[in-house]
Copies of this chain bind each other. A is one copy, B any other.
Amino acid sequence: MKKIQEYTKTELTAEQEKLRKSYESFRAQHLSLDLSRGKPSAAQLELSEALLRLPKPGDTFGEDGTDCRNYSPDVCGLPEVRRWFGELFGVPWNLVIPGGNSSLALIHDALSRAFIFGPLPGFTPWGRLEKVKFICPVPGYDWHFHSLDQFGIEMIQVETGEEGPDPAEIREIVKDPDVKGMICVPMYGNPSGVTYSEAVVDCLASMETAAPDFRIIWDNAYMVHHLYDEPEKRDRLANIYDLCVRYGHEDRVLMFTSTSKMTFPGSGISAIAASPANIKEAERILHYRLVGYDKLNQLRHLRFLPDKAAVEAHMSRHAAILRPKFEYIENVLEEEIVKAGLGHFHPPRGGYFICFYALPGCAKRIVELCGEMGVTLTPAGAAYPHDVDPKDSAIRLAPSFANAEDIPVVMQVFVTAVRMASIEKLTN
């Protein structure tokens, strides 16, 4: 395919005319399509319908006899649920506290504890400091950034490459003692789709930080959300906790995950995993925050997905629904956009998003044009602190919730918008 940059003036004019006609034709169709919503489709939700019948009456007891219908003042919940998450995280069961329906909430609570009480006894509460800075690999999860912003945390952007953020850049930034942490989705990133390489994880675990209470918020939301069953087509994420222990920084990382995109988002269970000291401190504060998390819902999930093999089989069924959508979109991006020289993307092997990087200065215009043609995309810039993408390039595509049969039209619209915006940019 000839690159747009190589078009003659005549070819450009012809192309613009063609695109204008496509644009008008889509406008006339009054489409109302959406590629912005990072949530499972109805078909995926159906996979978990059996949850509504669990646990069965009479089967409401934990393995230690705990009646999950009643209070039991142990905020750490059922041992079998701690083991279940421990196996997913790759840490011992006693380094896990299962939470409620939201890992975001567990993250917010961990930040709140750091601000009010300090990350561990002996450290100054961050709320009493003049300045707190966090490293934010971009593009990243918008809710992370909004949350940090509310806490008044200054966000230092670091670009995400094919292997994650640049270790050299991060090593430099953590020399500033005001840099207290980093927040990231290290596997199948939202929206980068990138999984941090072993070298990146090793750097994060080993590097010396000026702040002794430096914390990595490791939001491993897509730990089992592979798009492919074949092991060689999956990303692998190194166990950062093991590495932190090896380098003598075991308190550095706070790991989070949830079942949100395994079962019913918003009605699932979540967990934090961390070092003995971090878990002990979390437990100390959480103990008086609530009697315990919803153990009936913990049991409900364990009955539905009793072990790692069950999780694996269940996630494979999700993948079977998601994969064709991802592959269709990636194919169109590759054939009609990348080959035309109008951008690039990292083909994700899991997770919920494809991040397309348009020519600099085009993202907002592309999203705007798509909107005019009846296709809603995530606002350009949303994946950056303060909603500003300095290059105005990244666009988050979320294939999961859209109907499979709508995606071809959506992508025709998208290609039209990308070509229109790119030509506008190149000819201005």
Contacts and interface: CB of A to CB of B under 8 A. Distances in A.
A25 interface: no
Interface of A: 39-40, 42, 45, 48-49, 52-53, 55-57, 60, 67-72, 100-102, 104-105, 108-109, 112, 115-117, 125, 127-128, 143, 146-147, 150-151, 260, 264-267, 284-285, 288-297
B53 A67 contact: no
Given A69-B267, A267-B294, 15 more contacts: A42-B67, A45-B67, A49-B57, A68-B266, A69-B264, A71-B260, A100-B100, A101-B290, A108-B288, A116-B116, A127-B127, A147-B288, A150-B288, A266-B294, A294-B294
Contact of A112 (B57, B67, B112): B112
Nearest to A265: B71
A59 to B, nearest CB: 9
Contacts of A266: 68, 70-72, 291-296
B288 A146 contact: yes
Contact of A264 (B70, B151, B267): B70
13 contacts: A42-B67, A48-B69, A52-B60, A69-B265, A71-B265, A72-B266, A104-B290, A117-B150, A127-B127, A143-B288, A146-B288, A264-B296, A266-B291
Given A69-B45, A71-B265, A267-B69, A290 B105 contact: yes
Contact of A294 (B112, B117, B292, B297): B297
B57 A289 contact: no
A134 to B, nearest CB: 14
Given A108-B289, A294-B267, A296-B266, A151 B102 contact: no
Nearest to A146: B288
A192 to B, nearest CB: 20
Given A71-B39, A266-B295, A116 B112 contact: yes
A52 B56 contact: yes
A126 to B, nearest CB: 9
Contacts of A55: 52
Given A49-B57, A127-B128, A101 B294 contact: yes
B57 A52 contact: yes
Contacts of A72: 266
Contacts of A70: 39-40, 45, 264-266
